[in-house]
Amino acid sequence: MSAPLKPIGIYYENEKWLLPLFAELKKQNIPFEKLFAPDHLFVPHHRESPYSLVINRMSPSAHKRNAGHTILYTLQYLAYLKSIGANFLNGYETFVLESSKAYQANIFEELDIKYPKTVVVNDIQNLVRASEKLRFPVLTKSNIGGSGAGIQKFHSRDDLQKAVADKSLEVSVDNIILLQEYLTPKGGTIVRVEVLNDEFLYAIKINVQGESFNLCPAEDCGTEGSACTIARSIAAENYLPPLAVIETVKKIFQHTGIEIGGVEYLVNEEDGEIYYYDINTLSNFVTNATDVVGFDPWQNFVEYIVQKAEGGNF
């Protein structure tokens, strides 16, 4: 595999998540440049990208690491890359989807895919009224979330009303909150399916412990009060989902143009049906992937990166 003529630009905010990618690129002698989002700038007058490929690895949970301003900035940068015809991976449209759980719910609706019943609210003062459309328990979710950010569970309308009155609810960067019916995962597990270039890469089953909603299987995300350590200590096991699930996830990616990412789902204990609830385009692969899924997905990712940087056919 030959290296591209121009370096690959890797745009990111949390370096810990990118260490395996950096290591694999160095191992294969692929030239790249780190583009650290909090320090980044661009000049609209420059109409040619200095990179053979720009990879967007920005996370909507950046606001939990004192870098919330970079989320909206990223949209401007990705719009610029699109306008100059730059070669990119996980560009503007993909990041719009990544940074909006409301948009994700709309995608599920468009594709007639089951997901938890949801109401999108633009002010916390409207949450109690919105809850009249749902069955308790319910979850509140930040529209711009990531790593379980802003997810809280309420067992009754009185509990929700108290949280609104106490102003103890976490508010999304864009002030939009999703109110969603809570579904009990059958067997206490959820499944995350990873796809690369429209092909099934692997899936893992993760045990849910207590009230933690941060089940990111990657390295510590560095958020305040992070539950990543808990998630990694939970037995994440290799799992082959039903073919229908794999096809559904691939349909989501084909419809949205996502090139790499993961989709999470659960089997509802009450009715035994599958419900999808999260689309993640960042794809920080499971820690110790070789032990868990039997291969190193970073190698697959780098192979795809190089092909895309070279303008190869897929």
- For 246-303, what is each residue's pLDDT tens digit? 999 999 999 999 999 999 999 999 999 999 999 999 878 998 999 999 999 999 999 9
**Is the separation of the CB atoms in 152 and 163 below 8 Å?**
yes
Domain 118-181, CATH 3.30.1490.20 — does that match?
yes
**CATH code assigned to 184-294:** 3.30.470.20
Instruction: Tell the CATH topology of 8-97+302-309.
Output: Rossmann fold (3.40.50)
User: Exposed, middle or buried by CB within 10 Å (0-12, 13-18, 19+), for 299?
Assistant: middle
Low-confidence ranges of the chain (pLDDT < 50): 214, 223-233, 312-314
pLDDT tens digits, 77-95: 999 999 999 999 999 999 9
d(CA 120, CA 107): 14
pTM for the whole structure: 0.90
User: So where are the chain's domains?
Assistant: 8-97+302-309, 118-181, 184-294
